[in-house]
Amino acid sequence: MVIKCSLFVATILDGFIARKCGALDWLPGSDGVTESENHGYTDFFASIDSLVKGRNTCDLMHTFGEWLYPGKKVLVLSSRFPKIPIRLAEEAKGTSMPPMEVVRQLEASGSAHAYVDGGKTIQSFLQAGLIQDVMITRVPVLIGEGIPLFGSSGRDIRLRHLSTGVLENGLVQSKYQVENAA
């Protein structure tokens, strides 16, 4: 593989990336109070040229009003064609291809670094051995139930710890490299 696939994701301490309904109201800043640091997201976002998102995650992004990914290629994975607003038709494409085919298509289009986002999408890319880097920011909140970041993979996925740091508001951010990635 020439293309690099990475995760940059926030979870709560009990391992969920969203409430069961998809709400992210536990994220810092969701209460309207602006965070003074972006926890490395700006630098990470500048390093990518494409995004692969699940349909539910993409639907949630549309509720934010403005398009958050100008100038980036966006593929939305769905078993049914996602409803992409007409104004975004040039920036986002829907597909039902399996992860390996998505990566091949991105490589063929010249992409070098993809950001993989969305629970099921992350899980399917990990199972296919396509994720190389994982950045997880843990938010000190417990909600008891929600959408898990990691599901059953059917095999061990070994990670090598690269770094961990404590950020403002008690956030803990850890970076890993996936050892058995394709």
**pLDDT, one tens digit for every residue, the chain (182 residues):** 589 999 999 999 999 998 998 888 888 766 555 555 667 888 999 999 999 987 666 655 555 566 666 788 888 887 765 555 544 555 677 778 899 999 999 999 999 999 999 888 999 999 999 999 999 999 999 999 999 988 777 788 899 999 999 987 789 999 999 997 66
Phi-psi region of 74 (alpha: psi -120 to 50; beta: other; left: phi over 0): beta
**DSSP-derived secondary structure for 137-153:** EEES---S-SEES----
- What CATH number has the domain spanning 4-178? 3.40.430.10
Q: Which residues have a Cβ under 8 Å from the Cβ of 107 and sit 6 or more positions away?
A: 1, 2, 3
Return the residue matching tokens 């938010």: 139
CA 147 to each of CA 56, 116, 120, 177: distance values in angstroms, whole numbers, following the listed order: 11, 16, 9, 23
